[in-house]
Amino acid sequence: MFRRYASPRHFHDLCGRLLPWLGWPCAALMAAGLWGGLVAAPPDYQQGEAYRIIFIHVPSAWLSLLVYAAMASAAAAGLIWRTRVAEAVTIACAPIGASFTFLALLTGSLWGKPMWGAWWVWDARLTSELVLLFLYLGIIALHGAIPDPRKAARACAILAIVGLVDLPIIHFSVEWWNTLHQGQTVFRLDGPSIHPSMLAPLLLMAAAFTLFFAAVLLMRVRCELLHRERRRQWVREVRA
């Protein structure tokens, strides 16, 4: 079964079948999360209403790491098995991950101004997240600079795998260094330190962002496969 979907045509068709099952649940979870976070959740006892940006900032930050892990996994699969589908997934992930990372940095800056008194500080978590954005942009630029798609995919795969070293740095930066960024509040051994009325919409937004990523990824992969295989008979049949 898995070998079947290593074929660009079969994977393209699979993406088309999965997309309707992602869009509506994503919209429903997004609406529920936004209502819970912006309306139902009470103000924070220290930060007041300003904390509500976490319902965008935190899921964006989580997805910036998740997308990179998915991209690097696809890159490794493409290097090992040399499948065109894995290469397409690698390239399709990069702009999505860059968008989530930029959104995380932007919302973090907006949150940091009232909390820290500055739009930006060279904090370990923020700096390593900025490096992640540069990694995404580097992969996008590298792919555009090499005309041959297979050579470009291999070069991007190597860069993506090397860049994996940044993920644990981002995750553990608040534990390894003395930073302004707050520590873990959700994934803690002794349980979340955030109130359930705030935790529930935060998890809903994280689920919505994840489904959004999956849906956009499938659409981008379909487009990438159609572009790469444009001279194949099955692409002409799809277009017809």
Report pLDDT digits (tens) over 100-119: 999 999 999 998 888 788 88
Does residue 1 sit within a domain? no
The list of the chain residues with pLDDT below 50 reads none
Q: What is the model's pLDDT at position 188?
A: 60
> Residue 162: inside a domain, yes or no?
yes
Which whole-number Å values give the CA distances from 142 to 20, 154, 228, in the listed order?
32, 10, 17
Q: Could you list the residue range(s) of the whole structural domain that residue 26 is in?
A: 17-239
Domain-embedded: residue 3? no
pTM of the model: 0.93
What's 134's domain CATH number?
1.20.120
**Does 7 fall in a domain?**
no
Single out the residue of 145, 237, 157, 185 nearest to residue 57, CA to CA.
185
Check: CB of residue 49 under 8 Å from CB of residue 39: no
Token pair recorded at residue 222: 């379909």
Q: How far is CA 172 from the centre of its chain?
A: 18
CB atoms within 10 A of CB 175: 10
End-to-end CA distance of the chain: 27
